[in-house]
Structure 1
């Protein structure tokens, strides 16, 4: 029921496209734009996503193209009604987490990233070097967990040092406290690892073994 309500709300904010042609994806677009596509029985769908393009909310904006012509647009997260179901696009703080065609029976097909996008380059690396890609995924997943745990423990220590908190729950004392500089480095490493995981759009920290 919650999924149905969310989908209806997202469908309600879809606006008609302007009929423009799908622009080419250039190398310098990789940090501001991404693109996914899917071939259906009688036509081609493309979703062009611009990060932070909505001036009012800062959300990304998705534009839906049918056979290269813009037919709809919406801010993220977005759901577009298309032939044979809907296209759902969801994001988190590290990037996209879902770009999929969902049929009436719940059948899901993830759209294919354009080969020049970061997602497409990550997918290409996975196809060419599957073993290395799997190892990279394991390392990135472990880094996300480790960096998150370190930052969470230091945040908890800082909170419990407040007198009003210490009186109620006591003070957490870590055996070793990292400097602000090291915590910044750990935060950056954790964020990069999370982005690597987000580029796979698989929704898990560690990929399943093939």
Structure 2
């Protein structure tokens, strides 16, 4: 059922050439490549963050050997030789851009080396220890953000008298000033953005930050 819905969202491409990635598109464009086994050519997936169609939807464009092959509203599932290219987005970027074979094996597509995702992958390849440290720090920031959010929500939810009479009230162990709450929110958004550059997503951590 889900695959049929995805197939209905696909429209044929118009054959225009794939635009080069420009340095000023770092935060607003994701570009990934796939060369399937055999001689089927090179596929490219191009997503423009913040650009929507007339219906308010973000689209993914699929190119084959540099020419526009298809377009689909996200989430997208493009059938290609040997499997399917699946593309999904979150508030902070892409959370999925994978080639799934007919046997169910998944391969993440290769980001364009000039894109933010490509530069993050280059850092991971050339400085793996630093990359792991940044990833670990992003996770810690999100865990702190979620913990603060949960305690503050519990305090607000148990404040009304009818609820307090039945289950009591909960007082957050940490009372943060407004400026610190804002700072934690900004830090969490940056952490989720960093994770999106690696196509990492967790509904609780990154969903909570969004």
TM-score (norm 2): 0.89
1:9 aligns with 2:5: yes
Unaligned runs of 5+ in 1: 206-210
Give the match for residue 107 of structure 2: 109
Measure how far apart 1:56 and its partner are: 4.7
Alignment of 1:55-204 (within 5 A): 55-56=53-54, 58-203=56-201
Q: Quick one: distance in 2 between partners of 1:169 and 1:7?
A: 45
Measure how far apart 1:180 and its partner are: 2.2
**Aligned alpha-carbon RMSD (Å):** 1.7
1:37 aligns with 2:38: no
- Which contiguous aligned blocks of 4+ residues in structure 1 show a shift greater than 4 angstroms? 202-205
Q: 1:21 aligns with which of 13, 17, 22?
A: 17
Measure how far apart 1:8 and its partner are: 2.3
Measure how far apart 1:191 and its partner are: 1.4
Q: Quick one: distance in 2 between partners of 1:57 and 1:119?
A: 28
TM-score (norm 1): 0.89
Q: Secondary structure at 1:52's aligned position in 2? A: strand
1:110-163: CA deviations, max 9, x gaps? 110001111111101101100111111111111111111112211221222223
Q: Quick one: distance in 1 between partners of 2:136 and 2:174?
A: 27
Q: Is the 8 A contact 2:53 2:59 kept in 1?
A: no
For residues 13 and 84 of structure 1, do their structure 2 counterparts lie closer, same or farther at Cα, with a shift above 3 Å needed?
A: same
Q: Quick one: distance in 1 between partners of 2:99 and 2:173?
A: 49
Alignment length (residue pairs): 201
